[in-house]
């Protein structure tokens, strides 16, 4: 199935990172502080699309001096909004078959919460949630706790015998380090040798050091696609530092055709002046093995 109708719906392609940065950061952005939902609470009670979730956090890890980052230890404000948008009625990803009962999804930087996999996984065939090793124990615990009443009737692959597949779920939890892991080997060892339909990332870019490893990981995942239809990347972020955002977009746009999701395709709490945005990327023809 061609992505041409989907691309048509996305509107104007971004070709100037500086202009896009100016347009976004000229908005009337509300104060979100750092953007953490509640940095002190060890347990959050949330409702996503009328589904109640109990999410454990680790404020201790967040405030620790752990090398390699600690931001995945808590829930960020954009995450519930992004999860709600992904499954909202008429979402453009579902309308164009990118999210479907046959889809495979890989999430980068899942963190400990599991909110996006818990929300989206019932609608797809395979969901691989990834992060650094420190986040995985609590991520699995949160997903285990909140999948007691897993939806039925969704077409899924045979359950894996691997210990990191959540029981009664199609969610697979894996360690993926953007700087050190080989993406092709990772995909082959996780039942996705031909790539995935959708890569998602939620609030993963917050400093310069992460930009190149993150973008290269996105490239490597999308380049592994051997099917006719390319992988779609969906990146949700909070507007924080214009310089960091612009550098990310400039690097991302070198490899991906890039669009910002228009207000007409967003839920209200992600629209202009919300302080959040979603971008979509499709690997440029010269980058793809399956161009």
- Does residue 68 carry a pLDDT above 60? no
Which pLDDT value is given to residue 163?
46
Alpha carbon separation from 126 to 101, 106, 267, 273, 288 (Å, rounded)? 9, 8, 25, 34, 22
- Does residue 265 carry a pLDDT above 90? yes
Higher pLDDT, 91 or 228: 91
- Does residue 79 carry a pLDDT above 80? yes
| CA–CA separation, 38 and 166 (whole Å) | 26
Q: Is 180 left (phi over 0), alpha (psi -120 to 50) or beta?
A: alpha
% of the chain exceeding 90 in pLDDT? 69
Residues in Cβ contact with 136 at an 8 Å cutoff, skipping those fewer than 6 apart: 164, 173, 174, 175
Which pLDDT value is given to residue 59?
60
Do the Cβ atoms of 192 and 139 come closer than 8 Å? Answer: no
Would you place residue 226 in the very low, low, confident or very high pLDDT band (cuts 50, 70, 90)? confident
Name the β-bridge partners of 48. 51
Which pLDDT value is given to residue 69?
47
For the domain bounded by 4-287, which CATH number is listed? 3.40.50.150
**What is the arithmetic mean of pLDDT over 40-66?**
74
Would you place residue 162 in the very low, low, confident or very high pLDDT band (cuts 50, 70, 90)? very low
| CA–CA separation, 218 and 58 (whole Å) | 27
Would you place residue 290 in the very low, low, confident or very high pLDDT band (cuts 50, 70, 90)? very low
- Does residue 223 carry a pLDDT above 90? yes
């Amino acid at each position: 199935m061609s992505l041409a109708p989907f691309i048509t719906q996305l509107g104007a392609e971004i070709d100037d990172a500086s202009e896009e940065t100016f347009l976004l950061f000229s908005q009337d952005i509300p104060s979100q502080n750092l953007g953490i939902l509640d940095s002190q609470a060890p347990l959050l009670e949330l409702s996503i699309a009328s589904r109640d979730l109990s999410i454990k956090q680790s404020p201790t890890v967040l405030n620790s001096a752990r090398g390699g980052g600690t931001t995945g230890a808590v829930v960020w404000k954009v995450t519930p909004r992004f999860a709600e948008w992904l499954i909202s009625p008429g979402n453009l990803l579902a309308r164009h078959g990118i999210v479907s009962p046959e889809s495979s999804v890989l999430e980068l930087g899942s963190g400990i919460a599991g909110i996006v996999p818990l929300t989206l996984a019932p609608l797809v065939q395979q969901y691989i949630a990834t992060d650094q090793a420190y986040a995985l124990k609590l991520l699995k615990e949160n997903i285990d706790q909140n999948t007691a009443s897993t939806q039925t009737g969704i077409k899924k692959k045979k359950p894996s015998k691997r210990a990191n597949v959540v029981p009664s779920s199609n969610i697979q939890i894996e360690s993926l380090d953007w700087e050190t892991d080989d993406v092709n080997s990772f995909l082959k060892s996780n039942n996705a040798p031909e790539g995935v339909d959708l890569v998602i990332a939620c609030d993963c870019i917050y400093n310069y050091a992460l930009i190149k490893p993150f973008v290269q990981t996105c490239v490597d995942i999308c380049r592994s696609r051997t099917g006719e239809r390319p992988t779609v990347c969906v990146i949700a972020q909070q507007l924080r530092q214009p310089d960091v955002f612009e550098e990310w977009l400039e690097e991302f746009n070198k490899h991906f055709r890039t669009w910002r999701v228009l207000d007409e395709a967003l839920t209200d709490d992600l629209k202009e002046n919300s302080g959040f945005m979603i971008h979509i990327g499709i690997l440029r023809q010269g980058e793809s093995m399956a161009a």
